[in-house]
């Protein structure tokens, strides 16, 4: 993936050729996965035969490959400037752990009042805050990599601490208070911690060691000008591979129930749009620069579909409506957030160029 481009370049020119055609590659990956899942007998069973923490091994490998290059780009010696940015950290916590789950709960009940399984699945998606793909979207939109690393790590800690409690609150307690049907969610903190350790801990450690050892051996200039350009494209390769496998595994469910998928998609579309634009406006209002405001928006809008799918399958079964809702999550999230990458770059000039921001003044 390319480094941050010049501000006066056209939006399309700010991305490499590989990045610029990303919507085409993603659409092709979705179609390829759906076709393979339908035409190759036993493919789904073979792909799902071996799992890591409830996630198919090929998907797990794709996620790890996808995240490593971006985390290898992070300048870990700059993280202290992010941790000192209290408005960014507080804003992220409020958006991710107060407003995000509440918004998904409201949208699920408003749009799916007659479909309890899908409604429950969407609420679980809303509780699983993003620790994986958001790093890709943030990097493509030229967001702050160091801020993304800190916010993802913060989300990971709160995910371990708060996920089970919030699941109990939004599926059992709050519906009871409102006189609505209740659902139990039995998920342990250890189950969530394992997901975080595998899908964030491994690539984070690999990225950190790559930078430390690479810079120590050959210097920062070699690391950033020679090593990173070679490993950078593997982030998109991993993303596309993950999408192909995911849709190959769930192709029958997606193709077999198109109307259900459409109904699940509506609250997801509303959720991603509201969270992203609302977070971007908040970032601008509190004086964040473009890079950190964009990072705030993507980390608030994205969701951890790996965890949501794993929890739904473990609790309700692989063929359940809850699991289907989890699968539809990335089906909608991927193209929507890719589109928002382009929107983010387009609004940069209108909202930020030439306008002093708090982060710029502090630097």
Report the 10 Å Cβ neighbour count for 271. 25
**How many CA atoms within 13 Å lie on the side-chain side of 217?**
9
The CATH code that applies to domain 22-347 is 1.20.1530.20
In this prediction, residue 342 carries a pLDDT of 87
In this prediction, residue 159 carries a pLDDT of 85
pLDDT tens digits, residue range 100-141? 999 999 999 999 999 999 999 999 999 988 877 788 889 889
In this prediction, residue 53 carries a pLDDT of 60
DSSP assignment of 199-267 equals IIIHHHHHHHHHHHHHHHHH-HHHIIIIIHHHHTTHHHHHHHHHHHHHHHHHHHHHHH-HHHHHHHHHH
Cα–Cα dist 283/82, whole Å: 14
User: Could you tell me if 112 and 119 are in contact, meaning their C-beta atoms sit under 8 angstroms apart?
Assistant: yes
Which residue shows structure tokens 């809850």? Answer: 322
Domain assignments of the chain as residue spans, ordered by start: 22-347
User: Could you tell me if 238 and 63 are in contact, meaning their C-beta atoms sit under 8 angstroms apart?
Assistant: yes
User: Could you tell me if 130 and 333 are in contact, meaning their C-beta atoms sit under 8 angstroms apart?
Assistant: no
In order along its 363 residues, the chain shows pLDDT tens digits of 444 444 444 444 555 666 667 778 888 888 898 888 888 877 777 777 777 666 678 878 888 888 888 888 888 888 888 888 999 999 999 999 999 999 999 999 999 999 999 999 999 999 988 877 788 889 889 899 999 989 988 888 888 888 888 988 999 899 999 998 888 777 677 777 777 778 778 888 999 999 999 999 999 999 999 999 999 888 888 888 888 887 787 777 777 778 888 999 999 999 999 999 999 999 999 989 999 999 999 999 988 877 787 788 777 876 788 888 887 887 788 889 888 988 998 888 777 865 555 444 444
């Amino acid at each position: 993936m390319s480094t941050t481009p010049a501000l006066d370049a056209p939006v399309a020119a700010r991305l490499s050729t590989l990045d610029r055609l990303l919507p085409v590659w993603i659409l092709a990956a979705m179609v390829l996965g759906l076709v393979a899942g339908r035409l190759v007998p036993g493919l789904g069973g073979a792909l799902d035969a071996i799992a890591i923490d409830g996630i198919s091994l090929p998907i797990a490998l794709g996620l790890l490959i996808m995240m490593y290059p971006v985390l290898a780009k992070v300048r870990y010696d700059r993280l202290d400037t992010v941790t000192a940015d209290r408005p960014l950290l507080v804003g992220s916590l409020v958006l991710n752990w107060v407003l995000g789950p509440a918004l998904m709960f409201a949208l699920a009940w408003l749009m799916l009042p007659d479909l309890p399984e899908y409604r429950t699945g969407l609420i679980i998606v809303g509780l699983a805050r993003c620790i994986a793909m958001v790093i890709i979207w943030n990097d493509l939109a030229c967001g702050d990599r160091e801020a993304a690393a800190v916010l993802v790590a913060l989300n990971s800690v709160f995910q371990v601490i708060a996920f089970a409690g919030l699941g109990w609150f939004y599926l059992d307690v709050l519906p009871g208070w409102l006189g609505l049907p209740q659902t139990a969610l039995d998920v342990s903190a250890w189950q969530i911690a394992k997901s975080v350790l595998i899908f964030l801990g491994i690539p984070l450690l690999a990225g950190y060691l790559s930078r430390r050892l690479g810079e120590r051996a050959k210097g920062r200039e070699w690391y950033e000008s020679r090593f990173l350009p070679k490993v950078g494209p593997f982030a998109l390769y991993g993303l596309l591979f993950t999408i192909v496998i995911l849709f190959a595994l769930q192709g029958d469910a997606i193709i077999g129930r198109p109307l259900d998928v459409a109904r699940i998609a509506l609250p997801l579309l509303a959720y991603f749009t509201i969270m992203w634009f609302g977070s971007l406006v908040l970032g601008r209002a509190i004086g964040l620069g473009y890079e950190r405001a964009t990072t705030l928006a993507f980390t608030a809008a994205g969701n951890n579909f790996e965890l949501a799918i794993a929890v739904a399958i473990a609790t309700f079964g692989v063929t359940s409506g809850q699991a289907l809702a989890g699968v539809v999550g990335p089906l909608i999230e991927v193209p929507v957030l890719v589109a928002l990458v382009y929107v983010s770059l387009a609004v940069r000039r209108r909202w930020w160029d030439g306008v002093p921001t708090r982060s710029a003044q502090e630097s």
